[in-house]
Amino acid sequence: MLGFFGLLNCKNRRLAWSGPKGQGLQEGGGDMEEREFRRIEEMMGGMMGRFRAELGQELTQLRSEIVEEFRHQIGVQREDFQHKLNLVVEGQQMLAEKLEETRSELKVDIGKIDQRVTAVAADLAAHRRDTEAHRKG
């Protein structure tokens, strides 16, 4: 029986492998029986089947790795977004506290100003009474 690189019969043409130095296939090779040609087809079919199976497994594994990496990246992005959101929330809380503190300080300051205005108004009223008393008197 001839090996794979022996003689090939393609479309009723006899082709022969010219050797390892690489002349390629040449016409006029020896006889090849149908069973030998079928054997080569079976070998090639088996090789292609194994190749497809291996390729399918590698593609499935690659897909799994891509999905895993995608999930990892989504997790990293989620953590980064959550961190930034926490900073915004913390900033808002600080602003709310500062606003409340300023509001309390303003209430105290307004209360002091109200007391002063009331005191000036009382002094002014007393001064008017004095002035009017001097005019009448």
pLDDT of residue 105 exceeding 60: yes
Is the CB of residue 1 less than 8 Å from the CB of residue 31? no
Between 19 and 112, the higher pLDDT residue: 112
CA distances from 47 to 32, 50, 51, 53 (A): 21, 5, 6, 10
Q: What pLDDT score was predicted for residue 109? A: 96
Higher-pLDDT residue of 23 and 44 is 44
Whole-angstrom Cα distance, residue 41 to residue 113? 105
Q: What is the pLDDT of residues 26-81, one digit of tens each?
A: 444 445 688 888 888 888 988 998 999 999 999 999 999 999 999 999 999 999 99
What are 85's two structure tokens? Answer: 């959101």
Query: What is the pLDDT, as a whole number, of residue 137?
Result: 66
26 or 83: which leads in pLDDT: 83
- Going by the DSSP 8-state scheme, the letter that residue 28 receives in this structure is S
pTM flag (> 0.85): no
